[in-house]
Amino acid sequence: MIQRSRGLLFLAVLTVVVALIFTFPARVAYRWMAPPLVQLSGIEGTVWNGSAREFATNGVYLRDLNWRMRPLQLLAGKARYDISGTPASGFFESEVAIGFGNTVTLTNLSAAVPMQMFEAAANIDGLRGNASLQFERLELTAGRATAMDGTVDVADLSVGFLSSSPLGGYRAEFFTQENGIVASIEDIDGVVDLAGSLQLNPDKTFAFLGQIVQKPNTPESLRNQLRYVPANDRGQHELRYEGQY
């Protein structure tokens, strides 16, 4: 009889614990564990299935953020969610896994977003255009990109300090390597013929190396800037830009 009572007590306690876990308010979890750069407002639901009216981090902004956890993934030591949201224009959908060591991994990421979202993160004033993202994997550790495999297509790119006119369309393909992340960059229908490479290093430094050839529709303001960049005998201007991100 005593053993049966203990068994019933254990079952009751276990039921309460499971109920608390599955109904744990997302608002409380956010107050306890929110990363310093992440801002959420209008939080509703639980850590398992919920929503937020607004999400912002480092200039990236989404409305109507929704999440749904995949409980079985907890057995692998990760909290994995299906997440969707709405930027100022376009859409955002991805599977998101939160692991140990402040690591966030986005897989099967599909999004259409305005380039202005990345203006602060890229530290480029006047960044405009529309980006289409397709990533198999995007991994962030303490806010730093540690893995990127996918493509970014940009239409109607505009960079204030380069030209007041749109620069056309470009594509970047990202690959993860042992020494960091590399990307090949080319024009699709740009106002210049561009072929370049981008290296993102583990120490948060980057290096871009590209070759540019003017086209008949290259804006005059950009032509004037290219006059200060030496060209080879094929008319290719070599650009190199390094910094931190």
**Can you tell me the distance from the alpha carbon of 10 to that of 198, in angstroms, rounded to the nearest whole number?**
58
Q: What is the pTM of this model?
A: 0.79
Interacting residues of 126 by C-beta distance below 8 A, sequence separation 6+: 119, 158, 159, 160, 161
Whether 83 and 26 have beta carbons less than 8 Å apart is answered as: no
Alpha helices in the chain (DSSP H): 2-22, 26-33, 119-122, 220-226
pLDDT along the chain (245 residues), means of 10: 42 41 62 70 84 82 87 63 88 85 85 87 82 93 86 91 84 93 94 93 88 90 85 86 79
Give me the sign of the Cα torsion angle 95, 155, 245, 31.
negative
Instruction: In whole angstroms, give the CA distance from residue 174 to residue 88.
Output: 25
- Where helices occur in 93-159 by DSSP H, the ranges are 119-122
Specify the pLDDT at position 4.
44
Report the pLDDT value the prediction gives residue 132, as an integer from 0 to 100.
95
pLDDT score of 161: 75
- CA angle 34/95/149 to nearest 5° reads 105
- pLDDT for 221 equals 85
3: tokens are 């053993």
- CA–CA separation, 178 and 147 (whole Å): 10
